């Protein structure tokens, strides 16, 4: 039976590992990681893999955040793929901020705590940004802070999640806005932004349904700060649609967003877009190729 795709905030379930047997009844050497509340198998692993329960992970994260005298302005737990992937998103938009000096944009600190039961995510801290002018969530190019290289028998939550590692994440946050500064320095023409969106749609980086609302925002920016024509504001148009709670924007994402499972989809697309724009900001050749108009027969309507 296929896993339900619906995204939820219910992380209060436990997972156990049970032995998988061959058709002959022999041990296969693999374990099935299954939820104890509904019996659903979330993934398979070897005996070297140790389950880290959501309650233990987020309980410890709450402790070290409190140890540093911090209080999240918002906390959200996102559970996807039937419980196989779990993300704890902590926003500190009031307590911890930094600025993109090239545009004067203020960013709030976002900390994402990752967990999974299908081996798709390491237990880690990931950095994010919250653009304060519109509270859009934005990604960074900083590597995740692996709290453990893998779920192993040596996993100790107390040693893995420490106040010192939280401090390092906060320090890296201050550096993470550098990529956005570089994007802001690369000016493009109005039609260049539309060409880039068309190429992304053609390459299936974004869907055509998603390209349309992004193009509308690029053509008519919602915020005064986004009216300059540069790679930074093109990225802002993308993230505005991806993180929007507006019903029209959500419908525009359609089946590509796997219905209500939008966070994983949005995070993946945001990362792809940011990496692509960062390459263009650092290479004139890449930028020139990206803004080169498509042949007339391949151009889609703006």
pLDDT digits (tens, 9 = 90+) for 69-111: 999 999 999 999 899 999 999 999 888 888 888 888 888 999 9
pLDDT of residue 130: 86
- Looking at residue 297, its pLDDT comes to 61
Among 166, 229, 172, which Cα is nearest to 195's? 229
In 3D space, the residue among 96, 54, 52 whose CA is nearest the CA of residue 71 turns out to be: 96
Predicted confidence at residue 258, as pLDDT, reads: 36
Under 8 Å between Cβ of 73 and 92: yes
* 155 CB-contact burial (10 Å; exposed 0-12 / middle 13-18 / buried 19+): middle
Helix 262-281 and helix 231-242: axis angle, to 10°?
Answer: 180
Greater confidence (46 vs 1) lies with: 46
pTM of the model: 0.83
**pLDDT band with cut points at 50, 70 and 90 for residue 255:** very low
Tens digit of each residue's pLDDT (9 = 90 or more) over 34-70: 999 999 999 999 887 888 999 999 999 999 999 999 9
pLDDT score recorded for residue 74: 92
Q: What is the mean pLDDT of the chain?
A: 85
Confidence of residue 1 (pLDDT cuts 50, 70, 90): very low
How many angstroms separate the most distant Cα atoms in the chain? 68
Q: Give the closest residue to 269 by CA, choosing from 218, 214, 192, 228.
A: 214
**3-state secondary structure (DSSP) of residue 217:** helix
């Amino acid at each position: 039976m296929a896993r339900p795709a619906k995204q939820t905030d219910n992380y209060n379930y436990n997972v156990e590992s049970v032995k998988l047997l061959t058709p002959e009844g022999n041990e296969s050497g693999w374990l099935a990681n299954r939820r104890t509340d509904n019996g659903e198998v979330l993934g398979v692993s070897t005996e070297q893999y140790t389950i880290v329960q959501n309650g233990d992970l987020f309980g410890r994260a709450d402790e070290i955040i409190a140890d540093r005298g911090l209080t999240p302005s918002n906390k959200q737990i996102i559970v996807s793929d039937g419980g196989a992937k779990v993300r704890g998103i902590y926003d500190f938009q009031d307590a911890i901020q930094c600025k993109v000096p090239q545009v004067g944009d203020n960013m709030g600190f976002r900390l994402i705590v990752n967990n999974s039961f299908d081996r798709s995510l390491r237990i880690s801290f990931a950095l994010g940004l919250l653009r304060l002018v519109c509270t859009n969530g934005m990604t960074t190019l900083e590597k995740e802070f692996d709290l453990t290289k893998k779920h192993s028998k040596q996993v100790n939550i107390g040693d893995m999640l420490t106040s010192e590692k939280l401090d390092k994440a906060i320090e890296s946050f201050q550096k993470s806005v550098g990529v956005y500064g570089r994007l802001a320095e690369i000016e493009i023409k109005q039609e260049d932004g539309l060409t880039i969106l068309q190429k992304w749609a053609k390459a299936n980086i974004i869907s055509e349904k998603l390209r349309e609302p992004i193009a509308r925002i690029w053509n008519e920016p919602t915020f005064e700060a986004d009216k300059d024509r540069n790679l930074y504001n093109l990225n802002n148009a993308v993230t505005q649609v991806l993180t929007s709670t507006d019903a029209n924007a959500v419908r525009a994402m359609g089946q590509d967003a796997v219905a209500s499972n939008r966070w994983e989809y949005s995070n993946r697309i945001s990362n792809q877009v940011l990496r692509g724009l960062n390459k263009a900001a650092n290479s004139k050749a890449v930028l020139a190729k990206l803004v080169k108009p498509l042949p007339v027969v391949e151009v889609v309507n703006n």
